[in-house]
Structure 1
């Protein structure tokens, strides 16, 4: 796996989304401030400020929402204000995220080859597939609009709402990047340990077979049962094992640092995702009930697809996080199982080596557990439960307001009939 190429590509995405203003230097293998990235971050911040201000000026869209659906206008304003706090939070967290990424990069071996492999392609798929999905929805909307460009006012309203979301969604990609790199390093360490065991166990197997044959011959001659003693399967030498344990400790510390750094961002992202799902659900319900009657067909389709795209984008990020973490956990458990099997076997290991193998067992068991929201492990059961609770709350909220609006409309119609 070419770590430098993957880090450079992901760093470009982080800078483009406003999640980082530090550029990755391949020679130093470190993310640090760069003039171009800093200027881009400043310009992006000014653009976001201008778009945020546009929401509080006179707008026909929001005047229509205030007069017809005030609760949706309130949801949008809440999303806007939380987005502002999120943007400021991302700016203050940039240095901590960059420091955590630099610590992870230090633990990775330098890669100088340029050939592509399937592992590299899988990393790019998990990192950039969400962006491609968004481009697919954007292309469909452009086709519906017959490639008519949206107005500047519409672009600014959308940017104010979703720029913080796109920036903070990169925290999912940081977790995926750490999990994929940790999995690759665990495979490398595991293969070095297993390679030596298999090589030496093969030679020992031949020794055991020869001794067994000799013992059987002695049984035939003297009638004494065979005794096999002094057989030891050698694991890597003490110096190599110490190097592997030190490498594993550095990797565990780097991944744990990234996991702790991302936790606060997960809470902000959870709030923004919940508000986005609430607004999208509300829009879809009202589009299905009334809006499709008053909106132009192409505009209505674009509105519907846009809100469906919010669902797809959020749940694809969660799906990617679950799958990547599952792949990582599978490799960790496989490595841990082999270490436990060595320790439980009757092999006559040296005390120093046994202590080091116990350290490996402890590191694998307690220091590579990725979490979300501080104490929740990243498992599909946990995320399904959280999203089910959010969906239930959204359903109750929308049902209440939808019935309330229908009751008001019915009362208005009855009063009009009486008049």
Structure 2
């Protein structure tokens, strides 16, 4: 797996998304501030400001119709707009703040000029999965629209809501890719540790005494140092991105609420406003919300599962060798236990206020779905009760 090649590809993707203002230098194996990237972000900021201001254009017929049809959905869009403005500003701050932690982590991820492997292909898949989904939905919607561009004011309204979400999603891409690379390094260290420990197993119990004086601990000490550096730097990196990811999950929750709300009301009343072609466009646009969010969560959970699995395998391998007491040198046993201790630290177990592990993310997603369902159900029942009251009132008047 070629780490530099993966990082360069990640860098290009994040630059296009607008999340990163740095350029990855292959020679120094670190990110440095790039003037063209800063200019690009400035232009992107000007475009976003213009799109943002479109939401406060009182002459916008789209916003008037939306407000008349559903004040609640109009309010959700305002919330998403406010979250987006904060997310756009925080993404710029987060990118600059986290680059130091990223460069520190890269020191523990040495560049390799090896052949293309399955792990490298998986890294690219994790990085570009959302873009593949985006392309498919965009192509289908464009086909249904007969490849005609929407009115510029409406496109600007949508861009103001999508752009900050798209930019901040770079934090998940960055976290996912660097976690995947850290998993690869952990796998390599496990392999080296097993080889080092097995090499120092004595096959003759009678020669244990002499083996104790001839065994070398330099290799294991070096491995322990590398593992400690990886653990410490990964912990700092994870902490530097945790607020960005929490911010993005909050935007996800609001998007899920808006998507589920519009789908519920469309099934019951709004479908009469759409013709067949527009109905298909609506379904595709609504489905894209869930697909994008699911893609983020699935990629994140796959990486977390794989890294946790690698950590457990590492611990089990050490425990298995330590269990062979009669064949294992007492001089190496404390170092092997130290390796196990590093692997059991909170960072490799994803501890802290934000715990991006399988259970945490699953509970968070379930909680989001439950809250969204309750809000939409309560709102829908309130509207139905209001309609019944109006019908009773009109019946009494007659």
Is the pair's TM-score, using the shorter chain for normalization, greater than 0.5? yes
Q: In the alignment, is the contact (CA less than 8 A) between 2:23 and 2:32 conserved in 1?
A: yes
Q: In structure 1, what is the equivalent of residue 369 of structure 2?
A: 391
Q: In 2, are the aligned partners of 1:370 and 1:377 still within 8 Å (CA)? A: no
Q: Please list the CA deviations of residues 348-390 of structure 1 after superposition, one character each: whole Å capped at 9, or x if unmatched.
A: 65665333222211111115435488243511x3333222222
Deviation at 1:125, TM superposition (A): 0.8
Q: Contact 1:20 / 1:98 at 8 angstroms: preserved in 2? A: no
State the match for 2:162 in structure 1.
Answer: 162
CA contact (8 A) 1:178 1:258 kept: no
| Structure 2 residue 335 is matched with structure 1 residue 356 | yes
Larger radius of gyration: 1
Contact persistence 2:194–2:318 (CA under 8 A): no
Give 1:285 deviation, angstroms.
0.8
Aligned length: 394
Distance in 1 between residues matched to 2:315 and 2:181, nearest whole Å: 18
Distance 1:199 1:98 in 2: 39
Deviation by residue 1:38-83 (Cα, 9 ceiling, x = unmatched): 1111111111111111111131111012112101000100110111
Structure 2: stretches of 5+ with no match in the other structure: none
Larger mean CA deviation between 138-147 and 148-157 belongs to 148-157
Instruction: Give the match for residue 381 of structure 2.
Output: 403
Give the aligned partner of residue 305 of structure 2.
326
Query: What are structure 1's unaligned runs of at least 5 residues?
Result: 209-227
- 1:6-37 CA-to-partner distances (Å, cap 9, x unmatched) read 01111111111121111111122111111211
1:229 aligns with 2:229: no
Give TM-score, length-normalised by structure 2: 0.92
Alignment pair present for 1:95 and 2:96: yes
**CA deviation profile, 1:291-329 (whole Å, cap 9, x unmatched):** 211112222221221121111111221111111111111
After TM superposition, give the deviation of residue 184 of structure 1 in Å: 0.9
Q: Is the 8 A contact 1:245 1:360 kept in 2?
A: yes
Q: Report SS of the residue matched to 2:24.
A: strand
Question: Normalization by structure 1: what TM-score?
Answer: 0.87
Determine if contact 2:263/2:286 at 8 Å carries over to the other structure.
yes
Query: 1: distance between equivalents of 2:148 and 2:331?
Result: 71
Distance 2:351 2:197 in 1: 36
Whether the 8 Å CA contact 1:260–1:374 is kept in 2: the answer is no
CA distance in 2, matches of 1:305, 1:242: 56
Query: Structure 1 residue 153 and structure 2 residue 147: aligned?
Result: no
Contact conserved, 1:264 with 1:373, CA < 8 A, in 2? no
CA contact (8 A) 1:31 1:98 kept: yes
Q: Distance in 2 between matches of 1:375 and 1:344?
A: 35
- How many Å apart are 1:96 and its aligned residue? 2.0
How far apart, in 1, do the equivalents of 2:16 and 2:319 lie?
A: 45
2:330, 2:271 → 1: CA distance?
A: 75
Task: Give the match for residue 360 of structure 2.
Answer: 382
Measured in 1, the distance between the counterparts of 2:294 and 2:351 equals: 15
The match for 2:135 is 135
Cα RMSD over matched residues? 2.3
